[in-house]
C-alpha cells in the first residue's frame, strides 16, 4: 500500500492471485444429389431450413451471452473499460511500482506487451511529477481485467457472471476512501472470479485530511450501507425460497399429493400457500372463487 501526503494524489494496490481460453467451434456441412425427386427436395429443403434456423438460434444465444458480464459492467459503470487478458503474468512487485504504466488499462485498447513490462530503474516516489500526472489522468475512471478462462466460464454461466458482478460492485462501493476524494478503480480478476489485484487511485477532496469526527461518521455510514445490503440480500433469498416452496405445494396439489379433508378455501390456503408468481396466483384465485 502506498500512503499519500497532503495534496498528493495517492494510489493503493493489493494482491490476492490467477488462465487459458477454451473455445467450442463447430462447422456443419451437408451434401445432396443434384437430381432429386420433388418430395425429397422439399423434405431436404425443409430440413436444411430448420437446421439453419436452429444454428441461427444457437448463434444468437451465444451473442446474447457472449459479453453478458461486460454488459453488466458497462451498464453499471458507463464509460468503464473492459479488457480480456491474462494479467497473472504481471508480478506483484511490478504491479505495485509507481512507474508501472497502469494508466494504459484505462484506454479502449491495451497492447499485450504491457503484460511483459519490466522496470528499468529505481521506483520513483509517488510525489514525483510524472507519477502524479499519470495518476491524475485516471481519476474518476474504472477498468477491469478479465482472464480468458473466466470470460469463457461466464459466457456459459450467467449466474456466475452476476455473482462476479456483485462482488466487484461491493468492492467499489465499500472500499474505504477519504471523504470527498475522486477515485479511479483498476481491478484484475483471477480465473475463479475473485479479485486478484486492484489499484485504487484517489485525488482531490479535503487535502488536509478529515477530522476524527468526519472519519467516524464516514465509517458509520459505510457500515450502515453494508448492513442494509446484507439485509436486502437475506430478504431476497427468503422470498425466493418462499416462491419455490409455494410452487412445489401448488404442483403437489395438482398432482393429488396434497390431501384436503373438507375441501374448503380455509383448508386449501393452509395446505397450499399462495405463491408470489403472478400467473400461479391468478390460477389459485380463480379456483378459490369456484369453491366459494
Encode pLDDT of 197-206 as tens digits.
989 988 865 4
- Cβ atoms 204, 182 nearer than 8 A: yes
Residue 229 inside a domain? The answer is: no
Residue 65 pLDDT: 42
177 shares its domain with 273: no
* Residue 198 domain flag: yes
| Residue 111 falls inside a structural domain | yes
- State the pLDDT at residue 288: 46
Q: Is the pTM of this model over 0.85?
A: no
Residue 195 and residue 75 in one domain: yes
Helices (H) and strands (E) in the chain, counts: 9, 5
Range of 250's domain? 234-291
In a domain, 90, yes or no: yes
- In this structure, the answer to whether residues 96 and 182 fall within a common structural domain is yes
> Based on the domain organization, do 159 and 16 belong to the same domain?
yes
Residues 143 and 283 in one domain: no
Q: Looking at residue 232, what is its pLDDT?
A: 81
Rg (the chain; Cα; Å): 28
Q: What is the pLDDT of residues 87-102, one digit of tens each?
A: 988 988 888 899 999 9
Helix runs in 83-211, H state only: 92-95, 129-136, 148-156, 158-174
Does 127 lie in the same domain as 263? no
3-state secondary structure of 75: helix
Q: What angle do CA 233, 141, 7 make, to 5 degrees?
A: 110
Instruction: Looking at the structure, tell me whether residues 180 and 94 fall in a common domain.
Output: yes
Distance CA 228, CA 174 (A): 12
Classify residue 269: in a domain, yes or no: yes
Res 263: pLDDT: 54
Low-confidence ranges of the chain (pLDDT < 50): 1-6, 15-44, 46-47, 54, 57-66, 206-209, 275-276, 280, 283-284, 286-292
Same domain for 176 and 72: yes
Does residue 49 sit within a domain?
A: no
Residue 35 lies in a domain: no
Q: Are 194 and 167 spatial neighbours (Cβ–Cβ below 8 Å)?
A: yes
Q: Both 200 and 264 in a single domain?
A: no
All cell numbers assigned to 32: 445432396
Looking at the domain assignment, is residue 28 inside a domain? no
Same domain, yes or no: 147 and 187: yes
User: What's the structural domain count of the chain?
Assistant: 2
Amino acid at each position: 500500500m502506498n500512503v499519500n501526503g497532503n495534496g498528493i494524489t495517492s494510489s493503493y494496490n493489493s494482491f490476492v492471485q490467477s488462465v487459458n481460453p477454451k473455445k467450442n467451434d463447430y462447422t456443419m456441412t451437408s451434401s445432396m444429389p443434384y437430381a432429386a425427386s420433388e418430395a425429397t427436395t422439399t423434405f431436404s429443403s425443409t430440413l436444411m431450413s430448420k437446421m439453419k434456423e436452429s444454428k441461427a438460434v444457437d448463434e444468437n444465444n451465444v451473442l446474447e451471452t457472449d459479453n453478458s458480464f461486460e454488459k453488466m459492467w458497462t451498464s453499471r459503470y458507463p464509460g468503464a473499460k473492459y479488457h480480456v487478458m491474462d494479467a497473472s503474468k504481471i508480478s506483484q512487485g511490478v504491479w505495485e511500482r509507481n512507474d508501472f504504466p497502469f494508466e494504459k488499462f484505462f484506454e479502449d485498447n491495451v497492447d499485450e506487451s504491457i503484460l511483459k513490462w519490466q522496470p528499468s530503474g529505481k521506483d520513483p516516489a509517488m510525489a514525483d511529477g510524472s507519477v502524479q500526472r499519470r495518476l491524475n489522468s485516471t481519476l474518476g475512471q474504472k477498468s477491469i481485467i478479465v482472464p480468458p478462462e473466466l470470460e469463457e466460464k461466464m459466457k456459459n454461466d450467467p449466474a456466475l457472471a452476476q455473482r462476479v458482478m456483485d462482488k466487484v460492485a461491493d468492492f467499489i462501493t465499500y472500499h474505504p476512501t477519504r471523504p470527498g476524494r475522486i477515485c479511479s478503480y483498476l481491478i484484475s480478476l483471477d480465473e475463479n472470479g475473485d479479485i486478484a489485484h486492484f489499484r485504487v487511485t484517489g485525488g482531490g477532496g479535503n487535502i488536509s485530511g478529515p477530522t476524527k469526527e468526519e472519519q467516524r461518521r464516514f465509517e458509520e455510514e459505510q457500515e450502515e450501507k453494508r448492513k442494509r445490503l446484507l439485509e436486502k440480500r437475506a430478504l431476497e433469498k427468503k422470498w425466493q425460497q418462499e416462491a419455490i416452496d409455494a410452487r412445489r405445494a401448488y404442483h403437489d396439489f395438482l398432482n393429488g399429493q396434497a390431501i384436503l379433508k373438507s375441501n374448503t378455501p380455509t383448508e386449501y390456503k393452509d395446505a397450499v400457500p399462495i405463491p408470489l408468481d403472478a400467473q400461479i396466483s391468478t390460477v389459485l384465485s380463480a379456483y378459490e372463487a369456484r369453491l366459494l
